[in-house]
């Protein structure tokens, strides 16, 4: 095809121009491919030592990494000094034996330096014996150590070991703890174990060498009791044995007072009272019983009996539930019987051996039977009571018990009792006490021709068995 200037003139048809452009693009592509193949197939010059192509371009090949610098020489560690040779042996009471040398000695402890250089302080009471002597270097030292070991194995008395007292300075020994005799400790432990076994009811040997349990010992009777009880069969003697065991858990208090005049004045008066109290868990049971009797010139001046029982259920410092029963007989008031039964709530503020404050309140019922006919009655009451006990001095304490029982049907009918006393301790064990007390009894509606109030002053000797 022959190209002229007319071929590119503007009169050329569009179809012809499109074919010419397509031809030019194809020709350019072919030339580009030929040049590329020629560039990759050219040989490398012999003088080219850098492996670079002749056209000056760097090849696409991996280059070797630069060599790492040589490491600096590591300095040799400083020589660790060898531990100092031991100069002795420290023997402790727990069996340990420590080699080393003596660092310090005081009146209370020993300083001991181990071969590693560590210094430890041991109390003097832990040291059993101490061997301190110079150890020579070389073979002589080894021979001396071997000879010492042989002598120790042969006989402890011939050993070079010296007691600590040989190295400790003389002193007053203040602050030192005396060593404890292991024999004494073993005896105390054995005694405690024996006591625990007896408490748990385990069998122990009695004086005759026979084994008997603690529970059987409580049921065992004395020789006199056995002589009285033994003729009866076992079903009859068991209640006595059981009650005797239970009575041992109760606190028992006995009071007695008497007055006797003879001559120009003929008078006899006797006051007595017994109190039993038992505390078990949150239960407190108390039983009071007693009476008074008096006669002057053959005329009856007093004849009274009473028996009361009360049970409190509840902890100290909290609300309680109570049940109480009171019974009374008084000949001079023409009272054949008066009984009160009540149950309700209360509060126990204090309740220990020295201090007590307990209040109770609840409904109750009272039945009265008089010797004079027509005065018998049964009334519904409100029972209220306050019990108080407090120490006054070192050996003196005050106690009081006040009870009021107003009738629910008629508030003008009520009974009031107040019993106050001061007790003085006579011995160190608080077993014997002297009691000075006053008791008031008030009845708003007494029997015919009888007064409303009765006052009783007592001087009594008190014995308490715990």
Looking at the structure, do residues 334 and 217 belong to the same domain, yes or no?
Answer: no
Give the model's confidence band at 342: pLDDT under 50 very low, under 70 low, under 90 confident, else very high: very high
Q: At 444, is the secondary structure helix, strand, or coil?
A: coil
Strands 414-425 and 396-406: what pairing? antiparallel
Cβ(455)–Cβ(438) below 8 Å: yes
Work out the angle at residue 113's Cα, subtended by the Cα atoms of residues 107 and 117, and round it to the nearest 5 degrees: 150
pLDDT, residue 358, reads 95
- The CATH number of whichever domain residue 143 belongs to comes to 2.30.30
- The C-alpha atoms of residue 162 and residue 8 are separated, in whole angstroms, by 131
pLDDT, residue 347, reads 95
- The C-alpha atoms of residue 251 and residue 276 are separated, in whole angstroms, by 6
pLDDT, residue 315, reads 83
Q: Please say if the pLDDT value at position 245 is more than 50.
A: yes
User: Which positions ≥6 away from 6 have C-beta within 8 Å?
Assistant: 12
Mean pLDDT for 296-325 is 92
Looking at the structure, do residues 359 and 277 belong to the same domain, yes or no?
Answer: yes
pLDDT, residue 186, reads 65
Tally of domains in the chain: 3
Q: Is residue 49 part of a domain?
A: no
Q: Which of 166, 192, 221 corresponds to the end of one domain?
A: 166
Lowest mean pLDDT among 49-63, 187-201, 412-426: 49-63
Cβ(395)–Cβ(422) below 8 Å: no
Give the model's confidence band at 106: pLDDT under 50 very low, under 70 low, under 90 confident, else very high: confident
Q: Is residue 127 part of a domain?
A: yes
Q: What is the mean pLDDT of the chain?
A: 75
pLDDT above 90 covers what percent of the chain?
Answer: 28
465 vs 182: which has the higher pLDDT: 465
Cβ(130)–Cβ(110) below 8 Å: yes
Q: Is residue 77 part of a domain?
A: no
* Beta-bridge partner residues of 456: 439
Looking at the structure, do residues 377 and 336 belong to the same domain, yes or no?
Answer: yes
Alpha carbon distances (Å) from 247 to 224, 236, 239, 311, 464 = 18, 18, 12, 17, 14
Give the model's confidence band at 257: pLDDT under 50 very low, under 70 low, under 90 confident, else very high: very high
Looking at the structure, do residues 262 and 386 belong to the same domain, yes or no?
Answer: yes
355 vs 247: which has the higher pLDDT: 355
Lowest mean pLDDT among 119-133, 146-160, 331-345: 146-160
Q: Please say if the pLDDT value at position 373 is more than 80.
A: no
Looking at the structure, do residues 235 and 261 belong to the same domain, yes or no?
Answer: no
Most confident of the ranges 46-55, 64-73, 187-196, 298-307: 298-307
Q: Is residue 135 part of a domain?
A: yes
**Nearest by Cα to 337 from 411, 447, 440:** 447
* Beta-bridge partner residues of 233: none
Mean pLDDT for 207-220 is 46
Looking at the structure, do residues 145 and 258 belong to the same domain, yes or no?
Answer: no
Mean pLDDT for 73-87 is 53
Q: How many angstroms separate the first and last alpha carbons of the chain?
A: 149
Q: Is residue 276 part of a domain?
A: yes
163 vs 356: which has the higher pLDDT: 356
* Beta-bridge partner residues of 110: 105, 122
Mean pLDDT for 376-380 is 86
Q: Is residue 451 part of a domain?
A: yes
Give the model's confidence band at 4: pLDDT under 50 very low, under 70 low, under 90 confident, else very high: very low
- The C-alpha atoms of residue 287 and residue 246 are separated, in whole angstroms, by 14
Q: Please say if the pLDDT value at position 366 is more than 80.
A: yes
Looking at the structure, do residues 139 and 210 belong to the same domain, yes or no?
Answer: no
Domain membership of residue 459 as a residue range: 251-465
Looking at the structure, do residues 103 and 216 belong to the same domain, yes or no?
Answer: no
Looking at the structure, do residues 268 and 228 belong to the same domain, yes or no?
Answer: no
Tell me the whole-structure pTM to 2 decimals.
0.51
**Nearest by Cα to 290 from 307, 303, 277:** 307
Looking at the structure, do residues 97 and 224 belong to the same domain, yes or no?
Answer: no
Give the model's confidence band at 109: pLDDT under 50 very low, under 70 low, under 90 confident, else very high: confident
- The CATH number of whichever domain residue 351 belongs to comes to 2.40.160.40
How many other C-beta atoms lie within 10 A of the C-beta of residue 161?
A: 20
- The C-alpha atoms of residue 107 and residue 124 are separated, in whole angstroms, by 8
Looking at the structure, do residues 241 and 279 belong to the same domain, yes or no?
Answer: no
Cβ(402)–Cβ(417) below 8 Å: yes
Q: Please say if the pLDDT value at position 276 is more than 50.
A: yes
Alpha carbon distances (Å) from 31 to 18, 24, 35, 37 = 20, 11, 6, 10
Q: Is residue 47 part of a domain?
A: no
Q: Please say if the pLDDT value at position 155 is more than 50.
A: no
Q: Which of 247, 267, 292 corresponds to the end of one domain?
A: 247
Q: Which of 135, 166, 197 corresponds to the end of one domain?
A: 166
Q: Is residue 37 part of a domain?
A: no
Looking at the structure, do residues 228 and 322 belong to the same domain, yes or no?
Answer: no
Cβ(464)–Cβ(425) below 8 Å: no
């Amino acid at each position: 095809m022959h190209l002229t200037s007319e071929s590119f003139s503007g009169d050329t048809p569009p179809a012809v121009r499109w074919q010419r452009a397509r031809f030019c693009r194809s020709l350019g592509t072919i030339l580009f491919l030929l040049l590329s193949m020629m560039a990759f197939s050219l040989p490398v010059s012999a003088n080219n030592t850098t492996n670079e192509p002749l056209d000056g371009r760097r090849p696409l090949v991996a280059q070797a990494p630069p060599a790492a610098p040589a490491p600096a020489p590591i300095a040799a560690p400083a020589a660790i000094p060898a531990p100092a040779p031991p100069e002795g042996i420290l023997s402790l009471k727990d069996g340990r034996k420590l080699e080393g040398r003596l660092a310090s000695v005081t009146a209370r402890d020993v300083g001991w330096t181990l071969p590693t250089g560590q210094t430890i302080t041991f109390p003097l009471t832990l040291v059993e014996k101490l061997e301190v002597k110079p150890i020579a270097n070389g073979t002589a030292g080894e021979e001396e150590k071997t000879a010492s070991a042989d002598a120790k194995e042969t006989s402890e008395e011939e050993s070079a070991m010296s007691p600590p007292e040989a190295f400790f300075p003389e002193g007053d020994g203040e602050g030192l703890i005396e060593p404890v005799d292991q024999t004494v400790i073993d005896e105390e432990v054995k005694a405690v174990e024996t006591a625990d076994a007896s408490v748990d009811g385990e069998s122990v040997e009695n004086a005759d060498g026979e084994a008997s349990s603690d529970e059987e010992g409580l049921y065992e009777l004395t020789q006199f009791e056995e002589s009285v009880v033994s003729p009866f069969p076992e079903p009859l003697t068991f209640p006595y044995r059981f009650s005797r065991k239970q009575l041992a858990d109760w606190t028992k208090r006995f009071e007695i007072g008497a007055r006797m005049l003879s001559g120009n004045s003929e008078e006899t008066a006797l006051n007595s009272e017994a109190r039993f109290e038992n505390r078990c868990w949150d239960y407190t049971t108390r039983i009071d019983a007693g009476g008074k009797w008096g006669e002057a010139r053959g005329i009856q001046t007093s004849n009274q009996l009473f028996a009361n029982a009360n049970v409190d259920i509840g902890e100290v410092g909290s609300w309680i539930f109570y049940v109480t029963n009171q019974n009374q007989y008084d000949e001079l008031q023409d009272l054949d019987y008066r009984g009160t039964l009540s149950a309700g709530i209360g509060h126990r503020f204090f309740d220990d051996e020295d201090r007590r404050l307990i209040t109770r309140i609840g409904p109750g019922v009272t039945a009265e039977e008089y010797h004079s006919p027509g005065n018998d009655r049964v009334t519904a009451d409100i029972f209220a009571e306050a019990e108080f006990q407090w120490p006054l001095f070192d050996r003196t304490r005050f106690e009081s018990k006040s009870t009021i029982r107003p009738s629910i049907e008629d508030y003008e009918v009520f009974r009031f009792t107040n019993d106050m006393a001061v007790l003085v301790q006579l011995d160190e064990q608080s077993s014997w006490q002297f009691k000075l007390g006053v008791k008031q009894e008030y009845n708003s509606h007494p029997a015919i021709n009888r007064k409303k109030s009765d006052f009783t002053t007592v001087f009594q000797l008190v014995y308490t068995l715990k």
